[in-house]
Amino acid sequence: MAIDTFDYSVSAGASGTAPVTTYSAQFGDGYKQVSADGMNAAMETWSLTCNGRPDDMAAVRDFLVSHCASSFYWKNPWGETKLYRVKADSIAPTFSYSNYVGLSFTFEQTVSP
C-alpha cells in the first residue's frame, strides 16, 4: 500500500511542539535519575492553517478527514520528511467572507503507517 504525501501549501506561522516523554526517579539525597520513555520519546505536533477558495480548501479538508486514522508523509518546517496523522478533533474551517476559507488543523507525528 502506497503512503500519501501532504503537499498542499500551509500558511506562514506554523507552530510546533516536540515534547519528550521521560521516566524519572527522585531520591532523598537529591539525586534524580532520568531516562527516555522508549525509542520514540520525542513525537512532534504541528498546528497549521491553509487558506484559499472554498473549492480548493474542500480538497484539503477531504485529505485531512481521510488521514485521521492513516499516516501520510509531510515535510515539516525544519525540512524533515516524517510520518504524521491528523488529530481527529482538530479540523476547523473558518469562513471569513464568501470566497475565502481558513482551515486549521493539527498534525501528530507517528512511527507507523
Tens-place pLDDT, residues 14-72 = 888 887 777 788 998 888 888 777 777 678 999 999 999 999 999 999 999 999 999 99
Q: Residue 37 has what pLDDT? A: 73
> Model pTM?
0.84
Name the residue ranges covered by the structural domains of the chain: 15-109
Q: Residue 46 has what pLDDT? A: 96
Q: Taking 90 as the threshold, does the pLDDT of residue 107 lie above it? A: yes
Query: 70 Cβ partners below 8 Å, 6+ apart?
Result: 4, 85, 113
